[in-house]
């Protein structure tokens, strides 16, 4: 039988040099810390799709027992970020294109609905707060820190959820965003980042002008445009994809 992972059995001879920064805090639940560390590593693609997640190796790496590691893996498997094959192994899930399309659908319609609520409550203060976040995105581009850029991008979208007084739906949007986040960080051309900033600003401009319909149109264009970046999917990316 063929395993989905292209790397197979290496890793024993190598040193366990997993690039997961981690410092154990005995005062907090260990399982939560392992979960957060693993999730951050997967979403930021420091752990590439297909990477083997052996429970025992994680135990050695984190210096804890299998129980909290398993707990973390179960949670990540529920989120679709890890595939567990009993008696075979656990692997960072490939990026499934069908899944990405579905998540884009969810994210797009939720963010547009949030935007409609935001438009009703738009104020100069909110505009200033949003533009301040965009400014930090610009700064992230200038220092060449794409990870920081994406972090600030999340902050901007989260702020909109707060503006709409729908803070509770942010986790759902974020989970939908996580899948595409891996695509962006893997393949997203860096030269598009300034364009993203401009599109963000164009939405804010429409809101400042009190034109909700225009803001809607511009956000929809922005979201679809980002998505189409990967329309001609280069063959080199195949190892990380599925479906």
Partner DNA sequence: CTCTGTACCCTTGTATACTAGGGTCCTATC
Partner DNA sequence: GATAGGACCCTAGTATACAAGGGTACAGAG
Structural tokens at position 203: 């939405």
Among a copy of itself, DNA, none, residue 64 binds (CB under 5-8 Å by kind) = DNA
The contact pattern for a copy of itself, residues 85-104, with x = CB under 8 A and - = no contact, is -x-----------xx-xxx-
Cβ closer to a copy of itself: 74 or 148?
74
- CB 135 to DNA: min, Å: 39
Residues 33-72 that bind DNA (CB under 7 A): 52-57, 64-68, 70-71
Residue 169 in the binding site for a copy of itself (CB under 8 A)? yes
- Contacting residues for 153 by C-beta, under 8 A, at least 6 apart: 137, 196
CB atoms within 10 A of CB 220: 16
Torsion-angle region of 16 (φ positive above 0: left; ψ -120 to 50: alpha; else: beta):
beta
Q: How many residues bind to a copy of itself according to rule CB under 8 A? A: 25
Structural tokens at position 227: 């998505």
Q: How many residues bind to DNA according to rule CB under 7 A? A: 28
The contact pattern for a copy of itself, residues 12-31, with x = CB under 8 A and - = no contact, is -----------------x-x
Phi, psi of 242 (to 5 degrees): -150, 165
Among a copy of itself, DNA, none, residue 15 binds (CB under 5-8 Å by kind) = none
CB of 107 closer than 8 Å to CB of 223: yes
Output DSSP code: residue 238. G
Residue of 48, 64, 106, 162 that binds a copy of itself (CB under 8 A): 106
CB atoms within 10 A of CB 72: 26
Among DNA, a copy of itself, none, residue 123 binds (CB under 5-8 Å by kind) = none
Output DSSP code: residue 44. T
**Of the candidates 70, 97, 80, which has an alpha carbon nearest to the alpha carbon of residue 175?**
80
Q: Which stretches of the chain bind a copy of itself, using CB under 8 A?
A: 29, 31, 70-71, 74-75, 78, 86, 98-99, 101-103, 105-106, 109-110, 112-113, 166-169, 172, 176
């Amino acid at each position: 039988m063929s395993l989905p992972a292209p790397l197979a059995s290496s890793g024993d001879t190598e040193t366990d040099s997993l690039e997961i920064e981690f410092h154990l805090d005995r005062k907090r639940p260990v399982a939560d810390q392992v979960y957060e560390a693993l999730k951050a590593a997967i979403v930021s693609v420091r752990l590439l799709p297909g990477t083997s997640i052996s429970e025992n190796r994680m135990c050695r790496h984190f210096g804890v027992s299998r129980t909290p590691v398993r707990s973390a893996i179960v949670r990540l498997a529920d989120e679709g970020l890890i595939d567990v094959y009993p008696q075979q192994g656990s692997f960072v899930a490939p990026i499934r294109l069908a899944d990405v399309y579905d998540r884009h659908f969810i994210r797009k319609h939720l963010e547009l609905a949030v935007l409609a609520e935001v438009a009703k409550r738009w104020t100069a203060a909110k505009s200033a707060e949003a533009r301040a976040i965009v400014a930090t995105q610009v700064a992230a581009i200038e220092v060449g820190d794409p990870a920081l850029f994406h972090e600030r991008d999340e902050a901007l979208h989260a702020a909109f959820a707060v503006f709409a007084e729908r803070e509770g739906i942010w986790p759902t949007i974020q989970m939908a965003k996580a899948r595409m986040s891996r695509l962006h960080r893997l393949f997203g051309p860096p030269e598009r980042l300034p364009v993203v900033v401009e599109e963000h600003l164009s939405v804010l401009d429409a809101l400042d002008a009190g034109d909700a319909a225009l803001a809607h149109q511009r956000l929809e264009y922005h979201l679809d445009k980002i998505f189409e970046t990967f329309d001609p999917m280069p063959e080199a990316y195949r190892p990380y994809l599925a479906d």
